[in-house]
Chain A
Amino acid sequence: MSAPPIAPLASLDELWFQVSGTLCNLKCEHCFISCNPTNDSFGYLSYDYVMHMLEESVELGVKEYYFTGGEPFLNRELVPMVEQVLKVGPVTILTNGTVLKTDWLNRLQTAEQNSRYSLEFRVSIDGPTPEMNDPIRGERTFERAIKGVAILCEFGFLPIITMTRTWDESREEEILDSFRGVLKQHHYARPRLKVLPRLKLGEEADRTEGYGQFERITPEMMEGFDVSQLLCNHSRVVTDRGIYVCPILIESESARLGETLRDAQVDFPLLEGACYTCYQYGSICANPSSKKVEA
């Protein structure tokens, strides 16, 4: 058997914080790391630990920061963490939009205004109607998340609505147009939309199916491929159990790379089914949307 394809870490540009571990107030049926209110297989990051990692990241010249979970706002220290990180770099928070409090947003608005850097919010909503979203994300989550979007807009943020593609790709334009219309009705005048491919891990593997044995990157597929399309080429994620290669693979023990960011600057073998999705779609974790790369 030939050697597996490898993604080298070309440059540590983006640092992710798994700030609420696998804890979430929702229990989405397609969650690729099976987050829910009681799943503490990954726990909260402490303020001191995040500050420690931030210091190391500045020494290494990290360009951007991301906070994810679970639901990041369940971590009561999120706001002070973000306030500190915005002093040294741009921040994106991935939230389900259902637990936002105005005093937190007041503080974050001030922090962004005092920073030269952008604060982005990505709000997960899985379709333009409750009928599409709620069966996946839970009862009344559409209504609650849309309220969250409206509050973010009131504070002058331009949240990126992030949806997982649970529909056939041929319906994509129709669904996105419909979503733009719905968001405009809710006073979001220039909606930003991002579509994510399904990641067939965790709950999603149970809901639909897992990765087939041929859904893997082969060495031949890497020939002429722009490896910077893969997050693991320029990113790492901090969890309470160490540094992992990417936020998608934290449940895979082989994805744990060490205790420090310097430890984690190693090549990664692209052996997982999710690597194949990342390969197919490219830049799936970046803020702008991406589309399947034509073969």
Chain B
Amino acid sequence: MQTTIAFLGGIYNNYLALEAAIADAHSRGVTQIYCLGDLGAFGPYPDRVFPLLIENEIQTVQGNYDHSIGNALEDCQCGYTDPRDNHFAAISYAYTLQNTSQENRQWMKELPAEIRFTWEDKTILLCHGSPRKTNEFLWESTTSTAFLERLVNEQNADIILGTHTGLHWHRLLSSNRHFINVGVLGRPENDGTTNAWYTLLHLNTEGCGQENDYASVEFIPVNYDYERLAREMDSENIPKEFIETIRTGWWTTCLEVLPAKERRAGKY
């Protein structure tokens, strides 16, 4: 038996990339789609995200942003500590909070903190940052394999999927278990390209990949009308720093939290 499931990371109000990712998944015959949360942030018109998730029956995990907006908290709980990171986080949070309808806030408030399901005898766990803390940053270059082994053991999971950092990565663990960061649709990946990313997980009872693995991971670049998004951000008076990221593919804000390797890969 073979199946493919799509996983979407942080949307950050980027409804155009979300639309493009859903269309891309459908064009590949993929109908089972999950979202790992953080629906709001840098982009324009927060309310445009929700109809796409609801109409396409996309089950969604509650990210820190969704918890904050849903409960009208004071900040996004993004987990930044540096004042420079928090400065820009506060601007996008204020905009998103102000522009999200009461109905959509309520919808976010009720989202689950994790989703767990089984495929054959495998347990698949969907979280936002990490299963133990919604806003934990699990960066590829600062997360030891020993730690991930502990996480899958503690969680009794075969595959854990998260987002939150904004950068996709995958690590194969012992006994063919996996940790996958699915990337985000909300902004490009700080590599000078304008596309966003989502993830396909191919599951196969016959084994489909190295070491007779039952699971393989495919990261999918998503092209969308980023110029339109940038124009709309501009018309909403969203800071020019966020717009530059959309147009250039380089992160301009919330950089202090990046570890050395990830920071070096970017321009700023």
Contacts and interface: CB of A to CB of B under 8 A. Distances in A.
Interface of A: 11, 13, 57-64, 88-90, 112, 116-120, 156-158, 190, 192, 228, 282-283, 286-291
Interface in B241-268: 256-257, 259-264, 268
Nearest to A119: B260
A289 B86 CA distance: 11
B136 to A, nearest CB: 9
Contact of A288 (B80, B141, B145): B80
22 contacts: A61-B146, A63-B142, A63-B143, A88-B144, A90-B144, A90-B259, A112-B260, A116-B140, A116-B141, A118-B142, A118-B260, A118-B262, A156-B264, A158-B264, A283-B81, A286-B81, A288-B80, A288-B256, A289-B81, A289-B256, A291-B82, A291-B86
B132 interface: yes
A63 B138 CA distance: 10
Given A63-B142, A88-B144, A88-B145, A158 B81 contact: no
Contact of A11 (B132, B259, B260): B132
Interface string B145-179: 11101110000000000000000000000000000
Of listed A11, A57, A286, residue having the most chain B CB within 10 A: A11
B190 to A, nearest CB: 13
A228 B82 CA distance: 16
Nearest to B267: A190
Given A89-B147, A157-B260, 17 more contacts: A60-B146, A61-B151, A89-B146, A90-B144, A116-B140, A117-B144, A118-B262, A120-B259, A156-B264, A192-B256, A228-B133, A288-B82, A289-B81, A289-B82, A290-B81, A290-B82, A291-B83
Counting from the closest, the 3 A-B pairs by CB-CB distance are A61-B150, A89-B144, A63-B147
Given A90-B142, A118-B141, A287 B259 contact: yes
Contacts of B132: 11
Contacts of A157: 260
B232 interface: no
Interface string B74-90: 00000011110110000
B141 A117 contact: yes
B142 A117 contact: yes
Interface residues of B, number: 29
Contacts of B133: 228
Contacts, number: 83
B22 to A, nearest CB: 32
Given A288-B81, A291-B81, A120 B144 contact: no
Nearest to B264: A158
B263 A158 contact: yes
Contact of B144 (A11, A63, A192, A287): A63
Q: Is the interface of A mostly helix, strand, loop or mixed?
A: loop
Contacts of B142: 63-64, 90, 117-118
B80 A158 contact: no
Contacts of B145: 88
B193 to A, nearest CB: 20
A119 B259 CA distance: 9
Most buried by B among A88, A228, A287: A287
A112 B257 CA distance: 19
Contact of B147 (A13, A156, A158, A286): A13
A286 B256 CA distance: 12
A225 to B, nearest CB: 15
Interface centre among A64, A118, A190 (most CB of B within 10 A): A118
Contacts of A89: 144, 146-147
A190 B268 contact: yes
Contacts of A119: 260
A119 B260 CA distance: 7
A286 B81 CA distance: 9
Contacts of A158: 260, 263-264
B259 to A, nearest CB: 4
A286 B132 CA distance: 19
Nearest to A229: B81
A289 B144 contact: no
Q: Which of A13, A117, A228 has the largest number of chain B CB atoms within 10 A?
A: A117
A156 B264 CA distance: 8
Contacts of A60: 146, 150
A11 B145 CA distance: 15
Contacts of A282: 81
Interface string B114-141: 0000000000000000001100000111
A192 B262 CA distance: 13
B243 to A, nearest CB: 20
A118 B143 CA distance: 9
